[in-house]
């Protein structure tokens, strides 16, 4: 099995050390969300996929955007009011990632799981339904590329909320309320700032990876966050389908 990941930067899924938009092996620097994914998948595999770096592929957001511009016409969604500019972007990202995951399956002669990470962001005035629309647009993008093992990873509003749930003074308590924090980075209540407050300092992506390794994420207790539960359920469904 290979794992194909795409994120927004070093503080979530990770980045390439070779300044390229796609990497694997020692060129991939995992971020905290990759550590979390590895902790979730290890019990099913019986090993850490990060210990087999040739099984782990990273594709940057920029690379997906460029690839989506060059998709065959059959994979390009027709313009419609249903897919607005923002949700259409999520859809095209997922379509491109699904297409690239299928190519990697052929190159490696192995089966892939692809995970598309994006922060949902938003503000207090953002309609509650927008998160669900973004989620569904990512699923439909994977489906459009005919890749059946694609999983959206869409924290609400940002990945720091999931970490904050575990790091707060009373870990995993009332975490559902954290999803109501503003995604606007100018807000003093933005999850990044709340996470810094909890730690008493700003932790780098590498620091957060080390912290997660020392404090493994409790996925069961974190299910009180709807955005995490949605990801967990879909990820585990795909893993079980692949294994069995």
Sequence-ordered strand ranges (E) for 7-111 = 14-16, 22-24, 28-30, 56-59
Three-state DSSP class for residue 206: helix
Q: Tell me whether the omega of the peptide bond preceding residue 157 falls within 30 degrees of 0, making it cis.
A: yes
Q: How many CB atoms lie within 10 A of CB 207?
A: 13
Percentage of the residues of the chain whose pLDDT score is greater than 90: 82
pLDDT of amino acid 53: 84
Quote the radius of gyration of the chain (alpha carbons, Å): 17
pLDDT of amino acid 129: 83
pLDDT of amino acid 31: 98
pTM, rounded to two decimals: 0.93
Nearest CA to 222 out of 182, 164, 151 is that of 164
Three-state DSSP class for residue 202: coil
Least confident of 14-23, 72-81, 187-196: 72-81
Assess contact for 53 and 102: CB atoms under 8 A: no
pLDDT in tens, 152-169: 999 999 999 999 999 999
Assess contact for 214 and 167: CB atoms under 8 A: no
Three-state DSSP class for residue 113: strand
Assess contact for 7 and 98: CB atoms under 8 A: no
pLDDT in tens, 99-113: 999 999 999 999 999
pLDDT surpassing 80 at residue 77: no
pLDDT in tens, 205-215: 999 999 999 99
């Amino acid at each position: 099995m290979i794992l194909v990941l795409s994120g927004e930067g070093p503080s979530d899924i990770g980045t390439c050390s070779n300044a390229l938009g796609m990497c694997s092996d020692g060129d991939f620097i995992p971020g905290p969300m990759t550590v979390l994914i590895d902790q979730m998948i290890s019990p099913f595999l019986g090993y850490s996929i990060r210990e087999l770096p040739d099984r782990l592929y990273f594709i940057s957001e920029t690379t997906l955007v460029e690839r989506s511009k060059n998709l065959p016409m059959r994979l390009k969604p027709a313009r419609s009011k249903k897919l607005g500019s923002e949700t259409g972007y999520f859809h095209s990202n997922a379509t491109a990632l699904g297409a690239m995951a299928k190519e990697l399956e052929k190159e490696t002669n192995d089966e892939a799981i692809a995970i598309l990470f994006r922060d949902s962001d938003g503000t207090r005035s953002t309609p509650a339904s927008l998160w669900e629309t973004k989620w569904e647009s990512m699923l439909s993008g994977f489906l459009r590329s005919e890749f059946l093992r694609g999983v959206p990873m869409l924290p609400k509003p940002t990945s720091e909320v999931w970490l904050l749930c575990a790091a707060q003074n009373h870990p995993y308590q009332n975490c559902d309320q954290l999803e109501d924090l503003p995604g606007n980075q100018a807000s003093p209540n933005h999850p990044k700032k709340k996470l810094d407050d909890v730690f008493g300092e700003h932790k780098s992506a590498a620091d957060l990876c080390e912290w997660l390794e020392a404090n493994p994420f409790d996925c069961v207790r974190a299910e009180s966050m709807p955005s995490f539960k949605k990801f967990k359920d879909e990820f585990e469904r795909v893993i079980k389908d692949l294994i069995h």
